[in-house]
């Protein structure tokens, strides 16, 4: 069984920064693309960003480009989400997930193409 454990969420004022971490179990972490999604009450889960297995390619939803950075350290089985210049509209529960179907950008943005999910990390941005 694959376990994804998230950490780093919290409360921050607008313009501040947070870094989320997602530590994964398994000996084949480096063969899977990873992604981050976020969800707020009453809204559908939203794709935020994804990174290829090697870390050589990254993808972002337009609303976070230039502010968020996804990265991974395969030696540590960990993926990160650095969030800068945070806005109140970034407030959400953030989930990391393992992609098992991804090939194109269209594959990465579909939540059904991820087979394991973290427990969620709450990010709250005050104004």
Mean pLDDT of the region 87-105 = 92
| Average pLDDT value for the chain | 95
Distance between CA atoms of residues 99 and 58, nearest Å: 13
Question: Which residues have a Cβ under 8 Å from the Cβ of 86 and sit 6 or more positions away?
Answer: 12, 14, 15, 16, 17, 18, 67, 123, 125
Confidence class of residue 101 from pLDDT cuts 50, 70 and 90? confident
H-assigned helices in 25-95:
none
Mean pLDDT of the region 40-57 = 94
Confidence class of residue 103 from pLDDT cuts 50, 70 and 90? confident
Question: pLDDT value at position 19?
Answer: 98
Confidence class of residue 60 from pLDDT cuts 50, 70 and 90? very high
Mean pLDDT of the region 24-46 = 93
């Amino acid at each position: 069984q694959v376990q994804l454990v998230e950490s780093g969420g919290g409360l921050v004022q607008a313009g501040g920064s947070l870094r989320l971490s997602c530590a994964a179990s398994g000996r084949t972490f480096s063969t899977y693309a990873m992604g981050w999604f976020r969800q707020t009450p009453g809204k559908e889960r939203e794709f935020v960003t994804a990174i290829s297995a090697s870390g050589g390619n990254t993808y972002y939803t337009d609303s976070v480009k230039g502010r968020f950075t996804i990265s991974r350290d395969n030696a540590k089985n960990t993926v990160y989400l650095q969030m800068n210049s945070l806005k109140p509209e970034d407030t959400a529960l953030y989930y990391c997930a393992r992609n098992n179907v991804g090939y194109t950008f269209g594959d990465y943005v579909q939540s059904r193409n991820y087979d394991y999910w973290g427990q969620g990390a709450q990010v709250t941005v005050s104004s």
